[in-house]
Structure 1
């Protein structure tokens, strides 16, 4: 149980966390939302906000899980750059309908509430301040929460993430030896190293502890095909199991059905591949 008083072992108090509860609806910077956005109901599920105890307090998360049976294979869902908003919650419900405990922790909780920010503000003010080490620790804490909840079979652990979270999937596959598989949707593979974000997936190919399926768009202006080819080469050189699919003509965020970037065919194919990848690698 965490109280609100900082102490030697808890230098940041819960009161100082910028986000203590999840945003409702879609993030401001993703508006207007497409009329045909996919909405998954909660029939047969237990779904909603939970609190995850972390090293320095508590962060909010969204979890969805079948309402009967269990424990269930566990999938960490790593947010887009927009935080845990409605689309990420819906992805959790989609996974729960497949028989998973799916949980998406708010990984910007200490740095700021991005739900009311424009995209450039998120990129300049929040993203550079989120340490990779903090993200890895929070994901580990989420796994521990799932295990203690009684609903999660964390021996069958997977991770999937989108955009900002796609890069995190590769990092987490290099971090957690207990992970069975990851699916990274258009996550950055290379970049300029900083003190808080010292390595990118291409630097960590030799350290992967679980196979990762990477899903990328040929027309992604932020992740050129040459970066994808560099990652493929790094995986091959390291002799690590993994697979990268590049969809012709697909832009960045082709899975985001609430945005103009959505492309139905690659999105549906990628989702099919995700299900097969998890099943094949022990997350089922």
Structure 2
């Protein structure tokens, strides 16, 4: 694997300054860029580790604190290991942050993040990949719809409420997406029941979006997050294989898979 360098950065948005983590191969060359959207627990060591793993595979990765309007990360005090069944107060703090991040704000921020990456010396010219976890899967989908000319790959893992009945449901941006899309759903996930998976796939198919979705057996919401009780090592490794294959074929197709 390639050695990497990670650093904290601040990037301007229309509503202030977003703190973020940037990591990239430490070889002096620019590399394809990936925007990684956090889960609701926020920018923390686990997400930095995941970003570093992408960087080790040849990508420049930006992980913004999408709740920056409320302050710098961490906004919620978290234990080293998160067992949500024993810590319901964590979600009591997080829910207001989630609700404040409207679709309009997501799209406005997405433009700022992608513009920052376009100017980043460590990021190669060309399209960008986007991946997201839990709530981040929704943000990834909206980013692809808001900035289709800049996003070539979208991945979402254990995302919830991706195709709800709401008039602003994320799946309704499908007709604006030009990227290749991959979703890895958890089969033990009450936030994304089978009817929503079906609705999401139908919307992507009808829009002509190249996509694939899988339901990971035995996986719970949050299965990629090793610092939580939802972690599933087998499902997490499956996610890595699929994510890297997607990024390799869309962001550097002439180089083959890593």
Q: Taking structure 1 as the reference length, what is the TM-score of the superposition?
A: 0.78
Cα deviation code 1:200-258 (max 9, x no counterpart): 23222222121210110111122112211111122222222111011122111111112
Partner of 2:164: 191
Shift in CA distance, 191/283, structure 1 to aligned 2, threshold 3 Å: farther
Shift in CA distance, 182/94, structure 1 to aligned 2, threshold 3 Å: same
Counterparts of 2:207 and 2:115, CA distance in 1? 30
Match of 1:114 among 71, 75, 78: 75
Cα deviation code 1:12-33 (max 9, x no counterpart): xxxxxxxxxxxxxxxxxxxxxx
Aligned pairs (5 A) from 1:58-207: 58-112=17-71, 114-116=75-77, 118-177=89-148, 178-188=150-160, 189-191=162-164, 193=166, 199-207=168-176
Name the SS of the counterpart of 1:46 in structure 2.
strand
- Deviation of 1:192 after TM superposition, in Å, equals 5.8
Name the SS of the counterpart of 2:155 in structure 1.
strand
Structure 1, 77-86 or 148-157: larger mean CA deviation: 148-157
Counterparts of 1:154 and 1:122, CA distance in 2? 39
- Deviation of 1:283 after TM superposition, in Å, equals 4.9
Uncovered stretches (5+) of structure 2, i.e. residues with no partner: 79-88, 254-258
The yes-or-no answer on 1:281 pairing with 2:250 is: yes
Q: How many residues align?
A: 239
Counterparts of 1:228 and 1:280, CA distance in 2? 25
Name the SS of the counterpart of 2:188 in structure 1.
coil
Q: Taking structure 2 as the reference length, what is the TM-score of the superposition?
A: 0.86
Counterparts of 1:111 and 1:248, CA distance in 2? 36
Counterparts of 1:149 and 1:280, CA distance in 2? 22
RMSD: 2.0
Cα deviation code 1:65-99 (max 9, x no counterpart): 11213211000010100111111111111111111
Uncovered stretches (5+) of structure 1, i.e. residues with no partner: 1-39
Structure 1, 212-221 or 43-52: larger mean CA deviation: 43-52
Contact 2:142 2:173 survives alignment (8 Å): yes
Counterparts of 1:156 and 1:205, CA distance in 2? 18
